[in-house]
Amino acid sequence: MKKIGILFGMENTFPQAFVDKVNSMNVDGITAEFVEIGSVKEACPCGYSVIVDRISHDVPFYRAYLKNAVLTGTHVINNPFWWSADDKFFNYALAAKLGVAVPKTVILPSKQMPPDTNDISFRNLPYPYDWKSVFDYIGFPAFLKPHDGGGWKDVFHVHDEREFFEAYDQTRDLCMTLQAAVKFREYFRCYVVGQRDVRIMPYDPSRPHADRYVLNPPTYEPALLARVEKDALTLCRSLGYDLNTVEFAVEDGIPYAIDFMNPAPDADLNSVGEENFQWIVEQVAKLAIERAQANDGELPELRWSSFLGYQPDVQPEAAKAARQKKSIK
């Protein structure tokens, strides 16, 4: 019997619905349950074929447990190694390289020195910092937000230099980004599951958190929705996430990717609404079952390229031989 587990924290509606959905599908040889963690010994299997991770970004013990699980043959959604290495500023840079529209963004040094550092630790930074070049590039209004965060924590909407510095003074030792504001008319939040299934959800970030999903949206241009879906898939396939949400703010018909590092996205019935909730439960259940059926117990190739599905066209030995042959000519 292959076990599918879900690892979660304070959320209630999605984990139980996910387990119930998997078990109700009556797939031979597969069962689902809440993950139970005993003592965690190095290189020992955890007993799960698949684990859906909803909480390890907040609990280092869970993240270490999941890395050990991957090493011993468990498929984890989402991959804990890549998730650990990722950050939002890198994502913006990657999107720009991929041709996905993103607002102008810069990364900033922290206001306060991180623990165990002092002035000497920052000798590579010029002083005073060149704020003028930052403001000239980004302009105002803008958003000041952590380079690696979520849940709209420590996010500031600033309209001039005075507001920027007032907000910046509150950011402690967080590494922040400053990003040009998009004057959007439409805003979408997209579930992406298995790097293939996309659900585009109209969204209003100005509303209270529980009311942000627009339940009676207007009609949108098919070409706009097609581009949103295409860009959402491009980003998730490049980042290697099997479960993610991608947010787009649309200005003058151009969807700008605003936030797309959400590997444990909101899936609470009370905020996403009944239809979105049923969709995400079913799609993640199908994905977990598919991954369990494909898991033959063999260890994956533990390299970044294999985590991201990259297969080089030419093996190193063949490439070396080709270069030698060319040099002889």
Query: Quick one: pLDDT at residue 214?
Result: 87
Q: Which position has the token pair 């009609």?
A: 219
DSSP bridge partners of 248: 188, 257
In one letter, which amino acid is 296? D
Q: Which residues make Cβ contacts (< 8 Å) with residue 294, sequence separation at least 6?
A: 75
SS3 329: coil
Task: With H, G, I as helix, E, B as strand and everything else as coil, classify residue 272.
Answer: helix
Which H helix or E strand runs over 178? strand 176-180
CB contact set of 143 (below 8 Å; sequence gap of 6+): 155, 156, 157, 158, 178, 179, 181
Q: pLDDT tens per residue, the chain (329 residues)?
A: 999 999 999 999 999 999 999 999 999 999 999 999 999 999 999 999 999 999 999 999 999 999 999 999 999 999 999 899 899 999 999 999 999 999 999 999 999 999 999 989 999 998 899 999 999 999 999 999 999 877 778 999 999 999 999 999 999 999 999 999 999 999 999 999 999 999 999 999 888 877 888 888 899 999 999 999 999 999 999 999 999 999 999 999 999 999 999 999 999 999 899 999 999 999 999 999 999 999 987 766 666 556 555 555 544 454 454 445 444 44
- Specify whether the CB–CB gap between 98 and 238 falls below 8 A: yes
Token duo for residue 25: 């599908």
Burial of 302 (0-12, 13-18, 19+ CB in 10 A): exposed
Write down the pLDDT at residue 317: 52
What stretch of H or E contains 197?
A: strand 197-202
Q: Which residues sit opposite 32 in a β-bridge?
A: 4
What is the SS3 assignment for 175?
Answer: coil
Look at residue 263 in the predicted model and tell me its pLDDT: 94
Q: How many CB atoms lie within 10 A of CB 142?
A: 26
* pLDDT value for 215: 80
Do residues 293 and 30 touch, judged by C-beta distance below 8 A? yes
CB-side exposure of 232: number of CA atoms within 13 Å?
A: 30
Tokens 């684990």 correspond to 51
- Hey, what are 72's tokens? 């011993």
Tokens for 84? 């650990």
The full set of domains in the chain, from first to last, is 1-86+272-329 (3.40.50.20), 104-180 (3.30.1490.20), 186-262 (3.30.470.20)
Q: Are 261 and 87 in contact (CB under 8 A)?
A: yes
Q: Give the tokens for residue 256.
A: 């700008």
Of residues 243, 281, 298, 303, the one with CA closest to residue 49: 298
Which runs of consecutive H residues, i.e. helices, occur in the chain? 13-24, 60-71, 80-85, 88-98, 131-138, 161-168, 222-239, 269-272, 274-294, 304-307, 316-328
β-strand pairing of 30-34 with 50-53: unpaired
Nearest alpha-carbon partner for 179 in 130, 145, 153? 145
